[in-house]
Structure 1
């Protein structure tokens, strides 16, 4: 493999992980994953990624973003984002990847990044809620709704990343 191909594949995988990670903050990471895969497929001449996989990824991305739209319409608030929350999610992602990798190997890295980051954000949100007056706190159902929505969207993004990497490396 030429060094330019290695650099391109590395950039592709980094964008996959970034797309997975930004889902934690309510951003359209599934769209980034789909577009990244589409660009990789077109550059590689659709040799390892076919049209059926691209259609499947598009459907998963539309499902995930539709879920995000439904959550925002129903009034489920987003988690707050600050430098401290971002730092906690980074630390959680590193810890999650380190904890899950021995048992799940490659899948542990990907799942650990997402689940660890989610736990970091959730813990920071719970700590922030404890310091607010009771009248300003979010209800438990709002926190549960956002958590469930974030995990569902992340599961779809995780499936997209796994399908893409399995298609390339099989």
Structure 2
């Protein structure tokens, strides 16, 4: 009854719907916590994610397609994200010498300094889930992995069904 009251739904069709709504509702809280944290550093959580990817690849440059593939939010517009990071001086963007249609993206020294400063405070984000024990957090990670597997299987089934009906 707690979730029903929080989201204003009288009743759910079944426990799967309730679980889906609960995940989406909780995502909003978690996302707001992350955005508030990163706002203090004048970036968004997506920008931090991009800088993290670039730092992990440094000194090897990456393309926007590589970045899009590694982003936590698959709906991110990597090109726009890179443009904003470049405007802030956090990345450098150069044309790929082998393929003029691609760009090479590297984290800049300013970007590295920023992400290192942020890393010192990342423990604050852990506090968002400190209401769980470590064992519960491990279980949650496992359950969310199963959710992603289920979603991928449903997507594959939908794609297969659509191609058969086409």
TM-score (norm 1): 0.29
Give the structure with the higher percent strand: 2
Structure (1 or 2) with the greater helix fraction:
1
Tell me: higher relative CO, structure 1 or 2? Use CA pairs within 8 A at least 6 residues apart.
1
